[in-house]
Amino acid sequence: MKNLILGLNSPICTEKTKSENRALLVEYLHRNLNNHNTLFIMYTIAEVLNLLNVILQMLIMDRFLGGEFTNYGWDVINFSEWDWTVRYDPMVRITHLLSIIS
């Protein structure tokens, strides 16, 4: 990328140099317009696979935690709408239950 921009991002570059480098960059881009389509397609496929991987991991984590992963966000939203005088810490309830089980 450094070689591709030819110093066009430099604030001390003269206008003549900028216009010459800009012309070289436009010429390069025009000459190589459709040369990287395969790389673009492979990159897009990799990104879609990454998205599917994240979604699958979220579903597996939710299954492992017994549905608590997806319910937690809704619980937090509902909890935040309560009056502050009647709020309780839901993690205390879980800690208390764990101490009873142990």
**What does the pLDDT look like over 75-88, one tens digit per residue?**
777 777 777 676 66
CB 40 within 8 A of CB 26: no
Read off the pLDDT of residues 42-65 as tens digits, 9 standing for 90 and up: 999 999 999 999 999 999 988 888
Measured over the CA atoms of residue 12, residue 16, residue 17 and residue 19, the dihedral's sign is positive
| 45's tokens | 């496929």
Axis crossing angle, helix 37-64 with helix 68-80, rounded to the nearest 10: 80
Distance CA 72, CA 14 (A): 57
Instruction: Look at the alpha carbons of 61, 62, 68, 71 in this order and tell me if their dihedral is positive or negative.
Output: positive
Residue 3 has pLDDT above 60, yes or no: yes
Predicted structure pTM score: 0.50
